[in-house]
Structures are given as C-alpha cells and as structure tokens.
Structure 1
C-alpha cells in the first residue's frame, strides 16, 4: 500500500464493508403453510426455504495505520467480532472490500489450540501456526510460559489444556500470539478472562507491539482496557460505524449515550 497522509503507512483499509449472515432454520408459520404460500406467490424465497438473513456489518469504512492501537466498542451483537473476522479473511464481504498490508492475526478467547494436548505442545504448535520457526519457538518458549503465568501454582504447562480454566487458556493463547510482533494483531476479548496482574502485563505488551510498528485492534467491553491501551476507537452499533476518533473523545460520547 502507498503511504497515507504525513507519510503514515496504512495497514488495513475497509471500503464500504457489508457482511451478511444467512442462517438456516425452521420455516416460518404453523405447519409451514406461510412458507408454502410464499413459494406459490414467488415471494420471500430465502424465508420460504427457512433461511434468515442477518446484516451484521453495514457500510463500514476506515483506514488503520501502522503504529496504531485501535479499540472496537459497542453493545453485544454490534458487529465488532464479525468485522475482525472479515479483516482476518475468515468471512467474505457481501459488498465492499477489505485490504490488508501484511498478514493479519486474529486472537480470540476460543482461538484453536488442541484441548487434548499439553500446554507445552500447544505452545509449540501455536508458535508454528503464528509463523515462528521451530528454533524461534524454542528460544521464546520459556518467555511465553512465564508471561502466561499458568505455572505460578503448579506445573500446569505439562497438563492437557482441557484441564485448564478458561482464564488459563486465554492467558496462554495471548502469550503465544504476543510473543512476536505482527503486521496486524486483532485481539477479541482475550484479556477479559485474565486476572488484574495479567491484564496489566497484556496492556503493556500491546503498547510494545504498537511501538514495534504493528497495528493492534482490541475488542473489549472493558472501557478501562481500551482507555489504557488504545489511541483510537471505532464505535459500532447494529453494524454501523457510529463514531471513529481519538480514544477519550469516542469513549466520552459512548459513556454519555449508554451510561457505561
């Protein structure tokens, strides 16, 4: 991508992005009579087939630049996680386009590690999946374990991940993903399940990643985490980008509107 204003380098461009889910379900109406009539009249084809459409993201446009940490806020179901999945290339757009410079990495609470394998083995597999070489994984292994803090009360790293609490799993996922710098790192509520000490460490690490010329997106219901970590905020409601601007200005408007 070409340089943006004042030499800033864009990493993500969302251009009038629309994302629509099509959810299959039972046909509407008792006994399907309403659906049958719709078919006869040639109306409501999706509804007649028991397919419901959800317009999750509606015409969102923005440009993210290298070195920014951007918070995504909004009520549940506002399209935050859906937008991140589209940036990561995991969801197609109905209309509009998403352009990225470099490889985007999406980290969520449910990021795919293998529950039957030990934490140790998952560190290796997760590091390889994140693009590290085997040698680099070995070099970073102890730092990852120490950062996660999961061994502070026992040798949990040698146990299967199915024995971990949700907080322990989230801490290990974040520690693996944040072990290296990223072109674009997207964090979806992964800090919400950590304890206070881990959140502080994580927020410090996010600031480091931003300073290493990457771009960080953070979806969080914790306005304090967004305030402490991000220099810019996107506020989505019902799939629409309501406001985009400096953190304090957007959070002040959001708190005034929602009473958060």
Structure 2
C-alpha cells in the first residue's frame, strides 16, 4: 500500500512538473535551405531531356548552369510559448529566409521544422492590393488571417487608429497606391497585430513609422506574448530588439552563431560589427 501511495504521489508530481514546463511552439532540427538559381543554359531541350535532368538532378544542375546558394546551414533551435525572439545578423545572413521557412513558405533542403499552431508571417513586403482602398484591405487582410467578418467589424477602428494613417487626413478611404511605403507598412502591421497568433513572425516591421508608432508596436508585441503566443522579430535596429525581445538568435552566413539572452548576444554581435546595427 505504501509503495502504491508513493507511486501515486510521484506520478502527481511528474504531472505538475509537466504542467509547469515550457511549451514548445517551433522546433528547427538541423535545417538546411538551398536556393537554386538558373544559369544561361537552363530551360532548353525536350520534355524527355527535362525528365532526365530531374532524375539525374545534381549532374543536370551542373550541366545546365544551375547555381546552388546555401542560405541556411544546419540551424537548430526550440522556441517556447510566451517568448519574443529577435533574429539578427548582417545582410544576407539568412534571417528572412529562415522566417519564410518557419511560416511554411519555403521548403527545406534537409532537416525539419515543427510548429505548434499556425505561424503568420508579417513583412513590410506582405501583399495588400494597391488598387483597393485601405478600408477594403483591412477587411481582406483580416479574412485572410482567419478573422470573422464580425471580428473585423469590431476591431476595424482600432486597426485604423493603431496604424495612424488617418492622423493627417482620411487616407483609409484612398487606394493603397497613394500611400507612402511607411504608411503601407504600418497598416500591414496593424492588421496582423489585431489578431492573436500562435506564432507571429515579423520582418523589419518596426523599422517603419515614427517613435510613437514603434512604441505602440512594441507594446502590442508584449500583449501578444501575454496571450500565450510566440513572436519572432527580424530587425537591424538593435534598440527595437532590446526593447522587445528577451532572447536572440544570431545568424551569420546562414549558420546559427549564437542563441541566448538579448544583452549577451547583442554585445557579441556589436563587437563583431564594430557597434553597427
């Protein structure tokens, strides 16, 4: 009886420990991402020749002048519920490529990416329809993210106010093609931030807008974390990373050079770059 009671107590303790354990939301396991760039010899020949090239891919790529760009190399990490994680690195280091792969927009060459929930990628180049008004884009963008029409209606004014694009006129009723690049980027962020996300991937969105908008964006990211999401932020602005993230992944030439607390990683990165963001 004593043994059974002890076993039950041990099991309950293990259950409590599991309940308190961090919940993983993204697991990258030795991820390789390779771009193939066609050379001048590609695209010629018959369908039979094309099939032969597929069957003998490596040989055919060399013969056809296809160049392989190894953008991400054996990257592994685990992200947890409630974390805000910065991605830093010099230009061409693979940051945006990695985000696209996590979002499911790019295939991996080898390795695996596992996600708990649906990742949502927000970038300054995210597609909205330039010939439609900002108002119409808010509705379409909300629907694309899985919001109901009722939810969009409830949050519409908050989205417009958050973006600040109506501060100097009724721009929300004008076509998107009349917006500056900063106004369009602010509206994209505002639409994406109106919904709670399992995993939100942000590519340079905080680099746009004035300091007041950046402060609103940083506070919204903190709210998303409190609602149990995970946020990834790619930025060349180290202050935004410091203000927003408690953990940083440093990519360099496609390799994960460092993963750790924000101040520790940024100090190493700034030493590497000579203090430049």
Q: TM-score, normalised by structure 2?
A: 0.85
- Higher helix residue share: 2
Instruction: Encode CA deviations 1:188-244: one digit per residue, 9 max, x unaligned.
Output: 011112221111110111111111110000000000000000010000000000000
Residue matched to 1:60? 75
Divergent runs of 4+, >6 A: none
Contact 1:4–1:10, Cα closer than 8 Å, also in 2: no
Instruction: Encode CA deviations 1:5-46: one digit per residue, 9 max, x unaligned.
Output: 951000000000000000113259xxxxxxxxxxxxxx9642
Q: 1:143 aligns with which of 127, 140, 158?
A: 158
Structure 1 spans left out of the alignment, 5+ residues: 29-42
Residue matched to 1:161? 176
- Separation (CA, whole Å) in 2 of partners of 1:26 and 1:233: 40
- Separation (CA, whole Å) in 2 of partners of 1:249 and 1:187: 22
The answer on 1:7 being equivalent to 2:21 is yes
- Separation (CA, whole Å) in 1 of partners of 2:34 and 2:19: 32
Equivalent position SS for 2:207 = coil
Equivalent position SS for 2:36 = strand
Residue matched to 2:112? 97
The correspondence of residues 24-103 of structure 1 with structure 2, limited to 5 A, is 24-27=38-41, 45-103=60-118
Equivalent position SS for 2:162 = helix
Instruction: Encode CA deviations 1:20-74: one digit per residue, 9 max, x unaligned.
Output: 000113259xxxxxxxxxxxxxx96423312111000000000000000000000
- Separation (CA, whole Å) in 2 of partners of 1:249 and 1:206: 22
- Separation (CA, whole Å) in 1 of partners of 2:226 and 2:217: 14
* Root-mean-square deviation (Å): 1.7
- Separation (CA, whole Å) in 2 of partners of 1:202 and 1:169: 15
Instruction: Encode CA deviations 1:58-97: one digit per residue, 9 max, x unaligned.
Output: 0000000000000000001100000000000001110000
Residue matched to 2:256? 241
- Separation (CA, whole Å) in 2 of partners of 1:58 and 1:91: 14
Change (3 A) 1:119 1:252: same
Residue matched to 1:201? 216
Structure 2 spans left out of the alignment, 5+ residues: 1-16, 43-57
Residue matched to 2:37? 23
Equivalent position SS for 1:141 = helix
- Separation (CA, whole Å) in 2 of partners of 1:247 and 1:45: 45
- Separation (CA, whole Å) in 2 of partners of 1:172 and 1:238: 32
Equivalent position SS for 1:55 = strand
Residue matched to 2:197? 182
- Separation (CA, whole Å) in 2 of partners of 1:51 and 1:223: 37
Contact 1:147–1:175, Cα closer than 8 Å, also in 2: yes
- Separation (CA, whole Å) in 2 of partners of 1:48 and 1:149: 53
Residue matched to 2:7? none
- Separation (CA, whole Å) in 2 of partners of 1:182 and 1:68: 13
Aligned-residue offset at 1:112: 1.1
Equivalent position SS for 1:25 = coil
